[in-house]
Amino acid sequence: MERTLAIIKPDAVGAGNVGNILSRLQKEGFRIVHMKWIHLNQAQAEGFYQVHRMRPFFSSLVKFMTEGPVVVLALEKENAIADLRKVMGATDPAKAEPGTLRRDYAASIERNAIHGSDSAQSADYEIAYFFSTIELSGRSG
């Protein structure tokens, strides 16, 4: 089994698409290991997206990710990282395949509904950024 991180972004949350996206992920065979509904502050968003700090879109990305609540998910499945990337579709929804989450729920390349880890290294870092070991063990409650 492999784990990956997904974030249902503020645009999709605000549009009421959380249930649709969760349902699609479960239909695709992903198991939700843990899930949080949070509103990122600027420092949290900057820390999470630190890899993009020197890119021209960094400030607008941080602003977008702090404009409303997000749903953060630790997901598990065989080939979870690659499979989530396929289910999400291209970053630009206009270029995404029909039936992908971004094609169905994203408004633009900037407001693209969902984030997913792009590698095993990223998944490890991203999951640990949002979830403690206790939360991921399934014994937190």
Cα–Cα–Cα angle for 42, 5, 113, rounded to 5 degrees: 65
DSSP calls for 102-130 = HHHH--SSSS-SEEE--SHHHHHHHHHHH
Q: Please give the Cα distance from 105 to 108 (Å, whole number).
A: 10
Residue 52 annotated as catalytic: no
Q: Please give the Cα distance from 106 to 119 (Å, whole number).
A: 22
Catalytic residue, candidates 34, 39, 52, 115: 115
Joined together, the tokens standing for residue 82 give 């690659």
Place of tokens 């968003």: 45
Active site residues: 115
